[in-house]
Amino acid sequence: MAPSPARFPVRERGGPVTAAVEAPRRRRTELGLVLLVGLLTVGALTLASLGKVGQPPAGLLGLAGVMVVLLLAAHLAVRKLAPAADPVILPVALLLNGLGYTMITRLNSNLAALQATWTAVGVAAFVGTLLVVRRARDLERYRYTFLAVGLILLLLPLLPGLGRNINGARIWIRLGPIGFQPAELAKIVLAIFFASYLVERRELLADRIRVGPLRLPRPRLRILLPLLAAWGVSIVVMVAERDLGSSLLFFGLFIGLLWLATGQAAYLLGGGVLFALASVGAYKAFNHVQTRVETWLDPWSTAQGKGYQIVQSMFAFGSGGVTGTGLALGSPQRIPAAATDFIFAAIGEELGLLGTTAVLIAFVLLIGSGLRIALRTEHPFEKLLAAGLTLVLGLQAFIIIGGITRVVPLTGITLPFVSYGGSSLVANFILIALLLRISDQHSQASPDRSR
C-alpha cells in the first residue's frame, strides 16, 4: 500500500483521520458487505430453485464456492490496488449482479451459464482496469485515441459482415462465436474523451456574451462544431442502427457533461431543442419510433400486437403487487425479453414493490457514491469523468426502467449489472473500476472527509 504522498490539514468533523487509518476501515466495510451479498445471492438462488423445482439447486456448494471466489477476487483487487476507494460501490454493483443472475437462472438456465461466464470476465475486466489505470488523469493524454476508438466502436455494427441485425436493431457485432454490443463500451470511452475535451475548453465554452437581457455562450464555431458533431453521431446511431436507447444515452451524456463543465444552462436548453428536433424528425420518419410512442401512450388497444410486451410488463408489475409472488413462483417468462431489457419487470412480478424499490435504492446509492467521488476530487478532469460516468449509469437505469414502467417511451437498453448481456456487464464493471480508481486517488491525496 502506497503511503499517501501529501497530508493536508484536516478540515472536517470526525477528528484527524488519515487515509492510512481510513483505508483499512473502508476495506473491512467492503468485505463485510461483499460477504453479505454472497449470502443474499446464494439465498435467493436457493429460493428460486425451491420455487421452480421444489429442491435446492444442484451443486449449491460448488456454486457458492465459485461465487465467493469471484466476490473475494474483486474485493482483494480493490484492497491491493485501490485501498482507499469508496467501500459501497463494489458491493452494490455485485448485489445488482447477483439479483440479476438469480432472475436469469430462474428464467433461462442456458443464459444463466453464459451470464456466470460473463460475470467472471466482468470481474477480470474490473481487476484489469484497476491494474492498468493507476492514475485516472493519465487517461486524459490519450483523448483522441479514445475518440477514435469510441466512434469506431459505435459505428462498428454498420460494417457489412461484422454487424448483425437482431430484433430490428443493428447494434451487435459478431467475431467468431462471440457476440458483442460495442455501444456499451463506447459509452465509457466517449465519456473519457468528452470529459478531457470539455475540461480543457471549459473557460472558452463558459465565455458569454450579452444578448439583450440574456447572457449566452459566445457562438464560436469551435464550440458549436463538437456539439453538432455529437448530435450528428447520435442521429446516425439512431437512424442507421435503430438504437434509440444508446442514441439518447450518448446525447444525454454529452449535453450533461457540457453543462457540468461550464455551468451554462443555455447548453441544456440548446441540447433540449436539438433533442426535440431529432425526436420529432424521427417520429415523422420512422415507423418503429411511432410504434414506441403509440405503445407508450396507449399499449392497451394493441395488447395482442404492438403493445404486447409493454402490456405484459404492466401485468407483471400489477400481479407482483407489494410483496411479489416469490422467486420462480410468477410467470415473468411471458414478457418478451424478460432476461434482458425487461428484467426489471420480472423482478417486479416476483419480488414486488419491495424488490423494485430495493433496486431503485441500489442505483440511487451508486449514483450518490459516484457523485460524492466527483465532488471530493480536486482534479478537474477526474471530477468531470466521475460525474460523467455516474451520469451514464444513472441515465441508463432511468431510460430502461422508465421505459418498461411507461414513464417514458420504451427504448431498448440493458439495466446495468442486472440484465443478461456480456457487453453490458463488462462495460459496467470497467465503469465502476474507474470510479473506484478516482475515489482511491482523492482519498489518498487528502484525508477522507466522509465516513
Q: Which residues bind another protein (CB under 8 A)?
A: 256, 259-261, 263, 303-304, 311, 314-322, 330-331, 334, 348-349, 352-353, 356-357, 360, 363-364, 367-368, 371, 374-375, 380, 383-384, 387, 390-391, 394-395, 398, 401-402, 405-407
Q: Which is nearer to another protein, 120 or 303 (CB)?
A: 303
CB of 111 to another protein, least distance (A): 21
Place of cell 402490456: 311
* Residue partners of 300: CB distance under 8 A and separation at least 6: 307, 311
How is residue 417 written as a grid cell? 449489472
Q: Which is nearer to another protein, 383 or 437 (CB)?
A: 383
Q: Which is nearer to another protein, 65 or 321 (CB)?
A: 321
Q: How far apart are CA 364 and CA 201, in angstroms?
A: 31
- 95 close to 115: Cβ distance less than 8 angstroms: no
How is residue 345 written as a grid cell? 419487470
Q: How far apart are CA 38 and CA 173, in angstroms?
A: 33
Q: Which is nearer to another protein, 119 or 428 (CB)?
A: 428
Q: Which is nearer to another protein, 289 or 362 (CB)?
A: 362
Q: How far apart are CA 403 and CA 411, in angstroms?
A: 6
CB of 400 to another protein, least distance (A): 10
- 346 close to 332: Cβ distance less than 8 angstroms: yes
* Residue partners of 130: CB distance under 8 A and separation at least 6: 77, 78, 81, 82, 433, 436, 437
CB of 252 to another protein, least distance (A): 11
Q: Which is nearer to another protein, 274 or 391 (CB)?
A: 391
Sign of CA dihedral 419, 121, 181, 174: negative
The H-or-E segment that residue 216 falls in is strand 214-217
CB of 383 to another protein, least distance (A): 6
Q: What is the DSSP letter of 439?
A: H
How is residue 377 written as a grid cell? 476530487
3-state DSSP assignment of residue 168: coil
* Residue partners of 361: CB distance under 8 A and separation at least 6: none
Q: Which is nearer to another protein, 127 or 400 (CB)?
A: 400
Alpha helices (H) in 82-167, listed in sequence order: 89-107, 109-132, 143-155
Q: What is the DSSP letter of 134?
A: S
Q: Which is nearer to another protein, 423 or 446 (CB)?
A: 446
User: Kindly report the CA angle at 246 between 370 and 285, in degrees rounded to 5?
Assistant: 145
CB of 117 to another protein, least distance (A): 29
CB of 366 to another protein, least distance (A): 10
* Residue partners of 218: CB distance under 8 A and separation at least 6: 207, 208, 209
CB of 305 to another protein, least distance (A): 12
CB of 116 to another protein, least distance (A): 25
Residues in the chain: 451
Would you state the torsion angle of the CA atoms of residues 196, 198, 203, 205, taken in this order, to the nearest 10 degrees?
A: 170
Number of alpha carbons in the 13 Å side-chain half-sphere of residue 326: 8
Q: Which is nearer to another protein, 283 or 398 (CB)?
A: 398
- 42 close to 34: Cβ distance less than 8 angstroms: no
Q: How far apart are CA 135 and CA 155, in angstroms?
A: 29
Q: Which is nearer to another protein, 154 or 400 (CB)?
A: 400
CB of 20 to another protein, least distance (A): 27
CB of 80 to another protein, least distance (A): 29
CB of 401 to another protein, least distance (A): 5
Q: Which is nearer to another protein, 157 or 256 (CB)?
A: 256
